[in-house]
């Protein structure tokens, strides 16, 4: 692939803007400046630089973000900053999307991608991808509440009960909840229907992929092949 096309595919602007970056000697490959937009490179394992910042080539973007509180999962946020403020602008340029949404006050694992099939696979209720949340509760967690969540609670406006795959106490005011669906405020509504109230909510896991302990709030990472395989493990 030629250098202009590489930059364009990775979200560095229009083709004209990419040619400008190259002509201005702002792009390097293997540590060497390259001013030829038509120079061809093998994209397998390619790492190039723009303004001395390294950028690995990825045909598709698969990202994990440790979402902090106070950010909306929208390109057009209403009351808070968008999660896209936490990412390099190249991702918005290449139309990376949130894979589902977290409420502005919910923290934890958020996936993003520019692969439409991947986004659909992890948002469609038919795919039955489990998600694990940790909720801090206002009142102590008791066995009756946990059993109600396992048996299913009827949410306002719903005809069928919402059932937790698993519900376990982690502490007096903390419970772990595993759900398949992604309804509006689902975990908060389920906990309320069981007789408690969520004070803080954190998504810890999607499928077989757990948010890395060393990924700080607000930080993001590329997902590698092994992590994508773990993500798809719903067993």
- Domain ranges across the chain: 3-56, 62-125+208-231, 130-206
Question: Is residue 2 predicted with pLDDT exceeding 80?
Answer: yes
CATH code for residues 62-125+208-231: 3.30.70.580
| C-alpha–C-alpha distance, residues 178 and 190, integer Å | 11
Residues 18-46 have pLDDT tens digits of 999 999 999 999 889 999 999 999 999 99
DSSP H/E element including 19: helix 15-23
Instruction: Give Rg (Cα) of the chain.
Output: 21
Whether 3-56 and 130-206 share one fold: the answer is no
- CATH ID of 3-56, from 3.40.1130.10, 3.10.290.10, 1.10.760.10, 3.40.50.300: 3.10.290.10
Sign of CA dihedral 123, 128, 133, 139: positive
Residues 180-198 have pLDDT tens digits of 887 778 899 999 999 999 9
Q: Residues 76, 103, 105, 115: which is the catalytic one?
A: 103
Query: What is the length of the chain?
Result: 235
Average the pLDDT over 195-207 and give the result. Answer: 96
212 Cβ neighbours under 8 A, 6+ residues apart:
64, 221
Superfamily per CATH, domain 130-206: Alpha-L RNA-binding motif (3.30.70.1560)
Active site annotation includes 105: no
Tally Cβ neighbours within 10 Å of residue 155. 18
Average the pLDDT over 89-114 and give the result. Answer: 94
39 burial class (0-12, 13-18, 19+ CB within 10 angstroms)? middle
């Amino acid at each position: 692939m030629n250098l202009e096309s590489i930059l364009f595919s990775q979200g560095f602007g229009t083709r004209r803007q990419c040619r400008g970056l190259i002509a201005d000697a702002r792009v390097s490959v293997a540590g060497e400046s390259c001013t030829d937009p038509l120079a061809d490179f093998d994209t397998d394992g390619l790492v190039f630089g723009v303004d001395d910042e390294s950028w690995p080539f990825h045909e598709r973007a698969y990202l994990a973000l440790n979402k902090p509180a106070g950010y909306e999962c929208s390109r057009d946020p209403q009351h808070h900053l968008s999660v896209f403020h936490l990412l390099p602008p190249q991702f918005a340029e290449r139309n990376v999307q949130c894979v589902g949404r977290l409420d502005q006050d919910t923290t934890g694992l958020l996936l993003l991608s520019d692969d439409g099939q991947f986004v659909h696979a992890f948002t469609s209720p038919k795919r039955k991808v489990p998600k694990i949340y940790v909720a801090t509760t206002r009142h102590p967690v008791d066995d009756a509440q946990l059993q109600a969540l396992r048996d299913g609670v009827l949410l306002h406006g719903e005809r069928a009960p919402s059932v937790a795959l698993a519900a376990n106490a982690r502490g007096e005011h903390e419970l772990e909840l595993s759900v398949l669906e992604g309804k509006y405020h689902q975990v908060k509504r389920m906990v309320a229907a069981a007789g408690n109230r969520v004070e803080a909510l954190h998504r810890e896991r999607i499928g077989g992929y757990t948010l890395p302990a060393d990924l700080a709030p607000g930080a993001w990472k590329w997902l590698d092949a092994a992590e994508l395989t773990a993500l798809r493990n719903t067993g």
